[in-house]
Amino acid sequence: MSRTPKPARPRPRLPLSLLNLRREEIRPVLIASLFFFCVLTALMLLRPARDALGMQRGIESIRWLFVGTGLLTLAVNPLFGWLVSRLRRLQFIAVTYGFFVLSLVGFWALLVFAPGSVGQRSGQLFYVWFSVFNLFATMVFWALLADRFTTEQGKRLFALISVGGTLGAIFGPWLTSQLARPLGTPSLLLVAGGFLLLALAAARLLVRVAPDRAAPVPRGAGSAPASENERIGGSAWAGLRAVFRSPYLAGIAGYVLLMSMLGTFIYFTRLQMVATVSDSLDARAALLGSIDMWTQVAVLALQLTLTGRIIRRFGLGVALAILPVASALGFIGLAIYGSFVVLILLEATNRAVQRGITRPAREALFTAVSREDKYKAKAFVDTFIYRTGDLVGAQTEGLLGRLGLALGGLASVVVPLAALWAALGIWLGREQARQPPPGHIAPAAEPPPRIARVPSPPSPQAPQQ
C-alpha cells in the first residue's frame, strides 16, 4: 500500500522574518530606501562645507544665522502650504525639489563665473539656504512615507527604510573626498542636484508601486476619501492652525522643540572644541566630515540591529524616550570629564539614537493624522518649530557662556529639559495608539426610530341623565 506523499511545506523566508518584512512590501521598501539614499547623499555632500563656511566669521555669527534661518522657514511655510493646497502631491514634491536643484545650479554659476564675489556674505547665505533646504528635503520624504504606509507598517518598516538614508549619509562624505579634487568644489553642487533629481524619480515610482491607503468608510458616513489625483485643498496656514488646535500635534511640536534645543547645545559645544583644535578652514571641514562619517556607521549598526525590535517590543513611547535619557547622561559625562573624546562620543551617540531610533519612531506618529496634516502641519513642525528650537538653544547656550557657566552649568539646564522631553515622548506613544485611523469618519448618529402613534380607544360616554 503506497502512501500518499505529503505536500512539501514552504520553507520560511528567514531574511524576511529577520527584517520583519512581508513579500509584498519588498519593492516599496527598496524604492523608499533608494529615495532616502539619494536625499541624504545630496545633503551630506554639502554639509561639511556648510559648517566650515559658517565658522568663517566666528561662532557668534552662527547664532545670528540661526535667527535668519528661523525667519526664512516661517516665511516659506505658507508658500509651501499654498503649493500643497493648489497642486497634486507629486506636483508640489517636484516643485520643491526642482527649486532646490535650480538653487544649486545658481550657486554653482556664482562660484564658476564670479568667484571674486564669493566671500563671507555669500558663505552665510549658503549656510542659511542649506539649513532650510536640509529640513524641507527630508520633511517631504517623510511626509510621503507617512502617506504611503500604515501606522503598523511605519512601526515595522521606517527603521529599515532609514538604512537607505544612513548609507547615503556615509556615501556622501566619501563621494566628496573622491570628487572634490578632480572636479573642484563647485561641481559638487551639480552632483548634489543630480541626486535630488534621482530622488524625485524615486518618489514618482514609490507613488506608483505603493497604492493609496484607503481607510474604510462607515456606512452612512458620506463619500470615500479623496483620490490621490485630487488636490488636498485647504488654507495655506492650515498647518499652523492644526498644530495649535490639536493636543497631539502640539505634543509632537513640543517634542521636536526640545530635541532641537538640546541638539543645538551639542552642536555649539562641538564647534567651540573644533575651533580650539585648528583654525584652518580645510582642517575643520575634514574633522567635521570625519565625525559625520563615523557617526553614520553607528547609526547604521543601530538601524540594522535594535530599532525595529525596540519599537515592536516596548512601543513608540519608550523609543521616543531613549534619546532624552541618552542626551542627559552624555552631558553629565561631558561636564565631569570635558574632553574632546567624550564630546565625540556624546555627539555620535546622540545622532545615532536620533537617526537610528528616534526619527523612525517620530515619523510613525504622523501616520495617524490626516493627509493635510501630514504635509502642512508636518512642514510647520519639521521646519519652523525645529529651527525655533535651534534659535532658542543657540541663544541659551551663548547666554550661559557669557554668564561664565561652563559645561557643568549647561548640564544643569539639560537634565531637567531632558526629563520633560522623555515624559512627552512616553505620552505621545500612548496618544498615538488612541488616534483614529486617517480618513476615519465617525458614523452619523441615526435618528431614534419613530414610534407609531396608536390611537387611544374612545372614552366611554357618560350616561345621559
Render each residue's pLDDT in the chain as its tens digit; 465 residues. 445 555 544 444 546 666 667 888 889 999 999 999 999 999 988 876 666 555 556 556 666 777 888 888 888 888 888 988 888 888 989 999 999 999 989 888 887 887 666 556 666 787 788 888 888 999 999 999 988 888 888 888 888 898 898 889 888 888 887 887 788 777 888 999 999 999 999 999 998 886 555 444 333 333 334 445 567 777 778 888 999 999 999 999 999 999 999 888 887 777 776 666 655 555 655 666 666 666 767 777 766 666 667 777 788 899 999 999 988 888 888 778 767 777 777 777 787 788 878 888 999 999 888 888 999 999 999 988 998 988 888 888 777 777 666 666 777 888 899 999 999 999 999 998 887 765 544 444 444 455 445 455 554 444 443
Query: Which of 187, 113, 198, 158 has the alpha carbon at shortest distance from 310?
Result: 158
14 in a structural domain: no
**Residue 8 lies inside a defined structural domain of this protein:** no
Alpha-carbon dihedral angle through residues 78, 104, 112, 45, given to the nearest 10 degrees: 130
- CATH code at 274? 1.20.1250.20
**3-state SS, residue 444:** coil
Q: How many residues does the chain have?
A: 465
On whether residue 430 sits in a domain, the answer given is yes
Q: Does the residue 442 lie in any domain?
A: no
Q: Is residue 445, in this structure, part of any structural domain at all?
A: no
CA distance 133 to 5: 63
- Which range marks the domain in which residue 365 is found? 24-211+236-434
187 in any annotated domain: yes
In a domain, 60, yes or no: yes
CB 35 within 8 A of CB 28: no
Tell me how crowded residue 152 is: count the other CB atoms within 10 A of its CB: 10
Q: Give the per-residue pLDDT at 94.
A: 93
In this predicted structure, what is the pLDDT of residue 332? 85
Q: Considering the domain boundaries, does residue 456 fall inside one?
A: no
- Determine how many CB atoms are found less than 10 A away from the CB of residue 403: 8
Query: By CB neighbour count within 10 A (0-12 exposed, 13-18 middle, 19+ buried), where does 351 fall?
Result: buried
Per-residue b or e along 74-112, where b marks 16 or more CB atoms closer than 10 Å to that residue's CB? eebbbebbbbbbeeebbebbbebbeebbebbeebbebbe
Q: How far apart are CA 361 and CA 290, in angstroms?
A: 27
* Number of domains the chain contains: 1
